[in-house]
Amino acid sequence: MDYRIGYGEDAHRLAPDRPLWLGGLRLESPRGALAHSDGDVLLHALADALLAALALGDIGQYFPPSDPRYRDLASAEILAQVLARLRGSQPVEIVNIAATVTLDAPKLGPHRAAIAERTAALLGIDPKRVGLGFKTSEGLAPDHIQARVTVLLRLL
């Protein structure tokens, strides 16, 4: 049995009149991530965690934000391309992912199941393998959204 752990994180500043995307789901919120991309910190951190698990670098290396081709690439598409790259390098099974999103508002708890289902669907795994925790910054970073993600891969 050969396993690999991966870790990734991503953060953005929050701004008014921006969509709030999380785990491939668009949530109702007066503010969203200020980003060239859709600003989905959960999927970006997840993509980085998957690459890190196989020591394949990070998404900035494959999708440089300076390259206009990638500037507005949907995070779900980035994740799909990362999964393809992973599997091209080594056949793997995603055992589980565990993530924490730090955001003062809105409350994410009511969306936990929906976010887990969408993220799991993008990964092709059971939603029970997607653990999501939510934290406020206790007011220390009210204009900030951050995701931290760990993944466990089993080499096949």
Residues of this chain that bind ligand C5P (CB under 6 A): 103, 107-109, 134-136
Start-end of H helices in 27-142:
41-53, 59-62, 75-89, 112-123
Q: Residue 107 Cβ, how far from ligand C5P at the closest point, in Å?
A: 4
Q: How far is the CB of 90 from ligand C5P (least distance, A)?
A: 35
- Residue 35 contacts residue 74 (beta carbons within 8 Å): no
Residue 123 C-beta: closest distance to ligand C5P, Å: 22
Among candidate residues 152, 150, 88, 94, the one with its CA nearest the CA of residue 121: 94
Residue nearest to ligand C5P (CB): 109
Instruction: Tell me how far apart the alpha carbons of residues 26 and 93 are, in angstroms, rounded to a whole number.
Output: 27
Considering beta carbons, is residue 26 or 135 the nearer one to ligand C5P? 135
> Please, what is the minimum distance in Å from the beta carbon of residue 108 to ligand C5P?
4
User: What dihedral angle (degrees, nearest 10) is formed by the CA atoms of 83, 84, 89, 92?
Assistant: 50
Say which residue the tokens 């959960």 belong to.
42
- Give the CA dihedral 59, 63, 33, 101, nearest 10 degrees: -10
